[in-house]
Each structure stands twice: as C-alpha cells, then as structure tokens.
Structure 1
Amino acid sequence: MIVWVIAGLLGMATGLRIGWALVNKQSLVSSAMILSLGSLGVVAALNWQPLALLLDTVLHWPNIAVGLSQVALIGCAAGSCVMITTAASDHSATITWRIALIQYGIAGVVAVVSLVIFFRAGRQPEMSPAEYLERDLDANGTSWLLPLLYVFLALTLVAWAGLRNSNRSRRGRALFLFTVGMVLIVGVSGYFLLKAAGQAQPVGVGAAATMLGCAMVIVAAGSLLPSVEDWFGAQKELRTIKPLLGELARRQPDVGIGVRPRGPLVFRVAERMSLISDALYLEATAADARRHESAGSRESSGTTHSDTERPHVGPEAQARAVAQWIDDTREGDDGSAFPGLAWLSQPETYSDREWILAIAEQYRDLGPTVQPSRFSRRRSSSTF
C-alpha cells in the first residue's frame, strides 16, 4: 500500500508536469522533469511484489523487475541531471540541446550495459526485489557498480546545483525540497555502492530501501509544491479581486465579451486581472474626458499637471487613492473625484499583476458592497 501511495504521488507530479507542458510550449527542462519523475515512479511501482511477479511471468525472466528498476533509476538520474544543468545553463539553445543529448547518450550506454550484465548473470530463483537486492549485492555486487556509480555521480551534481540555486521564492522552495530528496537518494546509492564494493555497513538493505521511499516522497512533494501553492495563491487572489471585478464589470459590461475556455486556475486569475486592467483604463479615460469638458477650454487642449506628474506618495497611498475614486463614483462621476491618469500607472517597483492586486486590496478594505460579477457567472457567451 505504501509503495502505491509513493508511486501515486510521483505519478500525480508527472501528470501535472505533462499537463503543464501541453498547455505551455514544450521545453527541454519540462521533458527532463517528466522523465525524472516518471522514472522514479516506475522504480516505486516495480518494487511492489505482485507487479514484479506479473512482469516475471509476462517477460519469462525471473526478477526482471530488478533489471528494469536499474534502468528506471538511471533514467531518473539522467532526467534530473539534464533538468538542473539546462535550467542553470547560460549557453545558447543549440549548445544546451547538444549537452543534453550527450548526457542522455551516456545514460543510455550505462542502461544498456547494466541490462547486459543483468542478463549475463543468468536466471536466478524467483524472489522479491528487496530479497534479490540483498543477495545480489552480497554475492555478485560488481554487477551493480556501474549503474550505482552513474546514479551517485549524476545525482550528486543535481544536489549541488539544486542547493546552490535554492532561494526563498515559491520555485526556490520547491527546488530545495526536491534537492533534499535527491540528497537522500545520493546517500542510498552511496550505501549500495559501498556494499557492492564489499564494504561492511552498519545498516541493512531494508533500512536503505526505507530511506529511498522517504526520498521519493520528498521528491514528489517538492514537485507538487508549486502547483499546490499556485492553487491556494490563486484562490486568495480571486477573493481579493472579486469586489473590484464586480464593480468594474457593472460599469463596463462590454469588457471581456467572448468565449473563454476553462484552463488552469492561475490562468483564470490572470484573465480576470486583464479584465480589471481594461476596465480601469476605460473608466479613467472617460473620467479624464469628463473632467476636461467640465473645466472648459483651458484644459480641453491638453492635460493638467496632475495628469503627467507621477504621484509623490507611496505605492500603498497611490493604490488607496485609486480605490477611493472607484468607491466614491459608484453612483456616478462628474470628474471631480478623479485623481489623474498618472495615478493609475503602477509604481516602478510593482509589476502589472502586483499593481492590480494592490488596488484590489485597498478597494476590498474600503468595504463596499460586492456587486455580482457578470464575468464570474457561467454564460454561453462568456465563460471561464
């Protein structure tokens, strides 16, 4: 049961990466990540004894699941190594692609040689993968030296690069968790490597296998963490922008007309933010025109000083002024409450997304009555 939980987590992480690659442009990093997680999931599944026995029966070779586990572990190491070196590379796309092909080529040679050694060892009595590993490492450990050495060296590089590039950002935290799992796999492969070389070890194969299972769970958690954080973050952002979106949807009903297919939640949040941005622009343009008309010919030929000069206030005060203008003009606007077009431009330290969120937060804190949003209702002409 535990094995299938681990395999399920890794399968879920692999599926999310495949889905992301289908939605976005396929990249070398995404392909490598899919190979790494998928191979590790295969390793977990092959250690389930009923599945191992089924493969032995179908392929007519006892303990073939162990040989396939070796290949899958090599694939995991190769995918992880390509992923981390490609993400950290400063070379051109052509050189990076060639380096990845060389890495995959080396891994392919190691996998083929490992299978040749496995089959040359001959047929052995049927046994569980853990029992086979215990006996084979003690009796004929040299057959494991090449694959274990490759896995140890490749994942050591992955661990070093992962720790070096980890940070406090959302992706950096996920990379750190992923790297911790890889460090554990490096430790397990180092243990098996020493045992294959004939060195006595204080712990048994069972303890090392348990550590390998923990490493798989950590790797899966590190891979799933960005998606989990994105989902909770998107839900929070949806709650933040809901009052502002509802009000602007009421004022500008023509914004966002059209069929919008459903997609990942973060994409839907970005879509709603773009609707807010468009509606704010239309509202500000109309308010500016009304103010010029009411001011007479002196302002009709140009813009006022407040229109062109950036506000000399902090970002929070600037966002609050914009939110206050939207709140004050819910029942109509004669242009007097409009702070000026310059106030709608985001501060230099803010991205477009951060600026919309800042205005939405200030508008929500003002506590206006939330209007029902046409954009959030399912309709045949406009859905998310």
Structure 2
Amino acid sequence: MIVWVIAGLLGLATGLRIGWAFVNKQSVVSAAMILALGSLGLVAALNWQPLTLLLDTVLRWPNVSTVLSQVALVACAAGSCVMITSASSARKPAAVRRIAIIQYSVAGVIAVITLVAFFIAPRQPEMSPEEYLRRNLGSGGTALAWLLPLLYVFLALTLVAWAGVRHSNRTRRGRALFLFTLGIGLIVLASAFFLLRAVGSTRFVGVGSAATLLGCAMLVVASGSLLPSVEDWFGARRELRVIQPLLEELSRRRPNIGIGVRPRGPLLFRVAEQMSLISDALYLEATQALEESGIAPDSYEEPGGTVSPEAQARKIAEWIHAGRDAERSAKMAFPGPTWLRQPRAYSDREWILAIADQYQRLGTLQDVAAG
C-alpha cells in the first residue's frame, strides 16, 4: 500500500509536469523533470511484488523487474542531473541541449551495460526484489554488475544535491527545490549503502534499511515536486478572494472589458485573466478622469520618494472606492497617472494585488462603520 502511495504521488507530480509542458513551451528542464519523476515512480511501482511477478511472467525471465528498476534509477539520475545543470546554466539554449544529449548518452550506455550484464548472467530462481538484492549484493562476481549503475547514480545525484542546496532560497520555487534536494540527498545515501554492499562491506549495512531509506527519499522527492502546485493553488485562491471586490466594481463600471472572456481553465490562468481585466479597467477609468478634468497628465503631483507603495496603493483604492455610489462629479479627484503606475519594486501582478488589497480593506472598514 505504501509503495503505491509513493508511486501515485510521483505519478501525479509527473502528470502535472506533463500538463505544464503541454500548456507552456517544451524545454530541456521540463523534459528532464518529467523523466526524473516518471522514472522514480517506475522504481516505486516495480518494487510492488504482484507487479514484479507479473512482469517476470510476461517477459519470461526471473527477476527482470529488478534490472528494470536499476535502469529506471539510472534514468532518474540522468533526468535530475540534466534538470539541475540546465536550470542553473547561463549558456545558450543550443549549448544546453548539447550538454543534455551528452549526459543522456552516458546514462544510456550505462543502462545498456546493466541490461547486458543481467541477461548474460546465469538465471536465478524467482524471488522478491529485496531478497534478490540481499543475495546478489556483496556476493563476489554478481556484485560487479551493480557497481557501474550504482556509482553513476551516486555521483550524478551528488551533483544534483550540491547544486540544489546552492540554488535553494526562501521563494516558493526555492523551498520546493530544497525539499526536492533533500529527497535526492536521501537517495544518494541509499545508493551509498548499496555501493558498500556491492563492494563486500555488509557488516553495518542492511538491504532492508537501505530500501526503507530509498522509499522515504522517493516520498520526499514527490512532496518537493508537488509543493509548487499546492502552493500555487492555495495562493491563487487567496488572490481571487483579494481581487474579487475590485473586479466586481470595475466590471460594473466597465462591462465591456468582460466581453469574450473565458473564465474556465487552470486556476492560475483565471487569476491572470482577471488581473488583466482590472488593469484594462483602471486604464479606462484613468483616461476618462483625465478627459473630464481637462488637466494635462504632466500637471499632476507625483507620489515622490517619501510615499510608500502601500500609501500609493491606498490612494488609488480610495479614488476607486469614492466613486462606487456617488456621481462622477462628486468623486474624489483623480490623483494622477503617476500614482497609478506601479513602484519599481513591484511587478504588474503585485501592484494590482496591492491595490485590490487596499480596496478590500476600505470595503471592510465601511461595512464595520455601517454596522
């Protein structure tokens, strides 16, 4: 059951990455992420005993699912390595693709050698993956076939862990990268345990402990991969609540801005679409205010360096709020186009959120005063 929970989480993370790649332009990083997560999910699924027996029966070769797990783990290491090196590289896209092809080629050669070594070795009786590892790791010649893939996984994922820690930060993506890197570090530790078994040092390392550590690592990797999507969903829900009062008021004043809008679709796209409607409506309101006032745009007073972004957003929110139920002639005077322009430290999205937040607070204060 635990194996399928892990495989399901990794499959969900892979599906989200595939969906993101379909919606956005395909890139080396997204393809590598899909390969890494999908391969790791395959490793988890192949360690479920009923599936192991089914594959061995269908392919008519005992314990073949174990070597497929090795190949999948090599593919996971290759995808993770390409992902982290491509994301952190400052080279041109063509050079990044060439480096990725070289990395995939090395992993492909190692995977082929692993498969050949397995199929030319004498067949062994059918057994569970854990029992197969216990019998073959550290048993002389049979362990040599494990050294090359395990060494590659260990070195490649060590590079991934080092680069992941280096590029982790407190941003939403940085936190996810740190959690993903933590899972990769656990895989590195598990592969080190298997390497020790392969070279014959079996005194302090148990296969069961290493397998449990690998399962925990896959769970952490899946959590790190899903964390951005979970945070994006909750963040988008919060942003929708913040901008809704401002959007409703501006839509009432400017009903034409909603013509042709398609509200269905991913939540993040809906938020972006509604923010674009607010931006268009604010521009139309400012244009009409300038025409009605007859004042040249450069005649208005600028916010100045002493005005904080919060105060600037509050000024715009008060101007919009003052015209909710009053006639246009009785509106609060338009503060000027420079007040509507976002501060340097704010993106367009952050600026609209700041105005919407101040507008929502004004509505809440008015409701409290009326009550």
**The TM-score by the shorter chain falls in which range?**
over 0.9
Which residue number corresponds to residue 115 of structure 1? 115
Identity %: 68
User: Aligned partners of 1:175, 1:303: CA distance in 2, in Å?
Assistant: 46
Return closer, same or farther for 1:303/1:63 CA change in 2, 3 Å cut-off.
closer
Which residue number corresponds to residue 380 of structure 1? none
Secondary structure of 2:355's partner? Answer: helix
1:226 lines up with 2:199 in the alignment: no
Which residue number corresponds to residue 299 of structure 2? 305
For the Cα contact (< 8 Å) 1:327–1:368, is it kept in 2?
no
State the shift of 1:290 in Å: 1.1
User: Aligned partners of 1:93, 1:32: CA distance in 2, in Å?
Assistant: 14
Which residue number corresponds to residue 131 of structure 1? 131
Which residue number corresponds to residue 239 of structure 2? 237
User: Aligned partners of 1:198, 1:21: CA distance in 2, in Å?
Assistant: 44
1:366 lines up with 2:362 in the alignment: yes
State the shift of 1:369 in Å: 10
Which residue number corresponds to residue 374 of structure 1? none
Secondary structure of 1:285's partner? Answer: helix
For the Cα contact (< 8 Å) 1:56–1:65, is it kept in 2?
yes
State the shift of 1:313 in Å: 1.5
1:165 lines up with 2:198 in the alignment: no
Runs (4 or more) in structure 1 with deviation over 6 Å come to none
For the Cα contact (< 8 Å) 1:243–1:369, is it kept in 2?
no
User: Aligned partners of 1:10, 1:368: CA distance in 2, in Å?
Assistant: 43
Which residue number corresponds to residue 285 of structure 1? 287
Secondary structure of 1:260's partner? Answer: coil
Larger deviation: 334-343 or 272-281?
334-343
Letter in 1 for 2:164: G
User: Aligned partners of 1:362, 1:326: CA distance in 2, in Å?
Assistant: 11
User: Aligned partners of 1:369, 1:278: CA distance in 2, in Å?
Assistant: 27
1:333 lines up with 2:328 in the alignment: yes
Name the count of aligned residue pairs: 361
Gaps in structure 1 of 5+ consecutive residues: 293-298, 371-384
For the Cα contact (< 8 Å) 2:319–2:332, is it kept in 1?
no
Which residue number corresponds to residue 192 of structure 2? 190
User: Aligned partners of 1:367, 1:260: CA distance in 2, in Å?
Assistant: 28
User: Aligned partners of 1:133, 1:263: CA distance in 2, in Å?
Assistant: 47
2:316 equivalent among 319, 322, 334: 322
1:348 lines up with 2:344 in the alignment: yes
User: Aligned partners of 2:70, 2:298: CA distance in 1, in Å?
Assistant: 73
Deviations 1:184-239 (A, max 9, x none): 00001011011100113423111110010000000000000000000000000000
- Mapping of 1:83-102 within 5 angstroms? 83-102=83-102
Which residue number corresponds to residue 65 of structure 2? 65
User: Aligned partners of 2:282, 2:18: CA distance in 1, in Å?
Assistant: 36
Secondary structure of 2:62's partner? Answer: coil
State the shift of 1:286 in Å: 0.7
Letter in 2 for 1:366: L
User: Aligned partners of 2:160, 2:338: CA distance in 1, in Å?
Assistant: 48
State the shift of 1:303 in Å: 3.6
- Mapping of 1:24-63 within 5 angstroms? 24-63=24-63
Letter in 1 for 2:356: A
State the shift of 1:314 in Å: 1.2
User: Aligned partners of 2:147, 2:344: CA distance in 1, in Å?
Assistant: 56
Letter in 1 for 2:86: T
Return closer, same or farther for 1:168/1:304 CA change in 2, 3 Å cut-off.
closer
User: Aligned partners of 1:74, 1:265: CA distance in 2, in Å?
Assistant: 35
Once superposed, what is the RMSD of the aligned Cα atoms?
1.5
Letter in 2 for 1:109: V
State the shift of 1:259 in Å: 4.5
State the shift of 1:73 in Å: 0.3
Q: Provide the TM-score with structure 1 as the length reference.
A: 0.91
User: Aligned partners of 2:25, 2:258: CA distance in 1, in Å?
Assistant: 25
Which residue number corresponds to residue 20 of structure 2? 20
State the shift of 1:305 in Å: 2.3
For the Cα contact (< 8 Å) 2:10–2:38, is it kept in 1?
yes
Deviations 1:238-262 (A, max 9, x none): 0000110010010000002114263
Which residue number corresponds to residue 376 of structure 1? none
Return closer, same or farther for 1:313/1:58 CA change in 2, 3 Å cut-off.
same
For the Cα contact (< 8 Å) 1:6–1:217, is it kept in 2?
yes
Larger deviation: 44-53 or 310-319?
310-319
Return closer, same or farther for 1:304/1:18 CA change in 2, 3 Å cut-off.
closer
Deviations 1:159-178 (A, max 9, x none): 01001000001000000000
Gaps in structure 2 of 5+ consecutive residues: 367-371
Letter in 1 for 2:239: E
1:210 equivalent among 212, 221, 225: 212
User: Aligned partners of 2:246, 2:206: CA distance in 1, in Å?
Assistant: 61
For the Cα contact (< 8 Å) 1:328–1:337, is it kept in 2?
no
Secondary structure of 1:61's partner? Answer: coil
1:247 lines up with 2:249 in the alignment: yes
Return closer, same or farther for 1:188/1:368 CA change in 2, 3 Å cut-off.
closer
